[in-house]
Amino acid sequence: MTAARHSELFALLDITGEDAAQCAALLDSPAGPGVVRAMAALRERLGTFPSGYAKAEDTTELDWIEALLRFAPELLEFHSTHGIAPELTAAILGDLGLQLRINRRVHGDFGLDTWGWLTLHMAGNMFRLGRLQYHLIREVGTEAGSLVPDGQWILGVHIPEDSGLSPALVDESLTMAKEFFARFFPERPVAEATCDSWMLDPYLAAKLPESNIASFARRFTVGRCTDEPTDAVYFTFRQRGLDRLDKLPRETSLQRVVLERIDDGGTWQIGHGRLSL
């Protein structure tokens, strides 16, 4: 791949600095067997509205990074054939560059331990619209003890790291989502959105009731919570695990709340919430 092609691709994926140099090195060699298998898995899922991560046998983290890089133009073309503007493709694929930078912060080196998460982006049913990301999927099974009708389409809401959660930004994003999905996916009407996040743990809103996070959480009806001791630490401090918590900063109210709950013997949970659109 030429330098110009690298530049165009990395602009689409928001890949910069050392990550760009190391991604270029991957692309400058022929794709190996693991990369070919990973790309085949991505291609098989494109346009199928999957809810889970892609999988392929005998693949490594580096295989998946390279596969994601090589497959991105196929997603761009897929979106284009469905009338979706290139800037919207870039908005969701920019998460790849962001996750590479986060990985470098967490581990101090090039890598992508969240590669499975990025396989969702490549399936064509996830979009970033303003502040939030939305994953259009079919919901089946049970929720809060009640049967959810098979075939009901929902929007899974995800929260990128890169800005605040002011009510105005969230309102704008939700409005954009309702208009976007009604326009481009009218055959898959959605009436509800869901969010599964430590930010919806009721403990957090109780401790920081005036915060933007609490305002965001109150939009959702939380039907249940499940224990997830490490998510709050990871997303607040970008540290895997619960080691060396005494070394972490306590400069903000959020940092203090996250650590003090653990100090007091508590366990952080994921709140599973629903929002009517």
* Residue 275, CA distances (Å) to 102, 166, 205 in order: 29, 17, 17
**For the segment 182-215, what is each residue's pLDDT rounded down to a tens digit?**
999 999 999 999 999 999 999 999 999 999 999 9
What's the average model confidence in pLDDT over 32-54?
97
pLDDT tens string 80-123: 999 999 999 999 999 999 999 999 999 999 999 999 999 999 99
How much is the pLDDT for 162? 83
Return the H-helix or E-strand segment holding 176: helix 167-184
Asked if the 130-277 domain carries CATH number 3.30.70.260, the reply is no
Q: Domain limits of the chain?
A: 1-124, 130-277
User: Strands 190-197 and 152-158, how do they pair?
Assistant: parallel
Q: Could you read off the pLDDT of 118-174 as tens digits, one per residue?
A: 999 999 999 999 999 999 999 876 454 444 556 799 999 999 988 889 999 999 999
Q: Judge contact between 160 and 93, C-beta under 8 A.
A: no
